Amino acid sequence: MLQMSAIDSYYGRSHVLQGVALEAPAGRITAVLGRNGTGKTTLMKTIMGLTDRMSGSIRLDGTEIGHEPTFRRARAGIGYVPQGREIIPDFTIHENILMGAFARTDGRIEVPALVPELFPYLPENYDRRGGVLSGGQQQQLAIARALAANPKLLLLDEPSEGIQPSIVEEIHAVIARLNREHGLTVILVEQNIDFVRAVAHGFVMLEKGRIAACGPIETLTDDLVHRHMAV
């Protein structure tokens, strides 16, 4: 599905990712792990073309997209739920979801049929402004917006950050279901190791902008977690 090789990525003169290589196989969940400040969000932004510059190769289904603008990467089938969610506060729930649909290539601007099934709160409150929602509701909205683009690859950057525990469980269940029942390929930045071990198929551990370890999820040992994630 997605292959990255020899990736160097920058913000201005700051050289964040250094020689990163990653594979996210189709139909699998790949977890990106590491301490704060190790380059996890930069990795997601690099896939979407949101850093100042990069070198190396990013291939989606065999097609090079590493030098395409962000909107073309979205239209190629990449949905993105950024850290902090970035919903539009003055838009309604309905309007926020429909914003994602503009990345579709078939011209259908509509709410996906999956949304009422996954997030019943959203269609029951379509006219509410995004800015008045709780953090958990905004996260549901951000995922629904990404799904409106009909992606084949979904990037999720810390989807459980700052959310009440009951909603965290719902978000985790949705991620697992999207992969298991709908075959959606997922790259997930997540600090909850128990959840990662339960749903992910493989992992990449970042340390100071480089790959410190990677492999099948069965090889994510307590020692690796302690060495690269303990503070």
Q: How confident is the model at residue 231 (pLDDT cuts 50, 70, 90)?
A: low
Q: Residues 192-227: pLDDT tens digits? A: 898 899 899 999 999 999 999 999 999 999 999 999
Q: Is 115 helix (H, G, I), strand (E, B) or coil?
A: helix
HEC profile of 123-186: HHCCCCEHHHCCHHHHHHHHHHHHHCCCCCEEEEECCCCCCCHHHHHHHHHHHHHHHHHHCCEE
Beta bridge partners, 206, equal 211
Predicted pLDDT of residue 105: 87
| C-alpha closest to that of 138 among 114, 162, 110 | 162
Tally of domains in the chain: 1
Q: Judging by beta carbons within 10 Å of its beta carbon (0-12, 13-18, 19+), is residue 64 exposed, middle or buried? A: exposed
Question: What strands, in cross-sheet order, belong to the sheet with 202-207?
Answer: 78-81, 153-157, 185-189, 29-33, 202-207, 210-216
End-to-end CA distance of the chain: 33
Detail the DSSP E strand segments found in the chain: 2-11, 14-24, 29-33, 53-60, 63-64, 78-81, 153-157, 185-189, 202-207, 210-216
What CATH code is carried by the domain that includes residue 107?
A: 3.40.50.300
Q: Is this model's pTM higher than 0.85 or not? A: yes
- Residue-number span of the structural domain to which 49 is assigned: 2-229
Q: Residues 3-26: pLDDT tens digits? A: 999 999 999 999 999 999 999 999
Predicted pLDDT of residue 167: 85
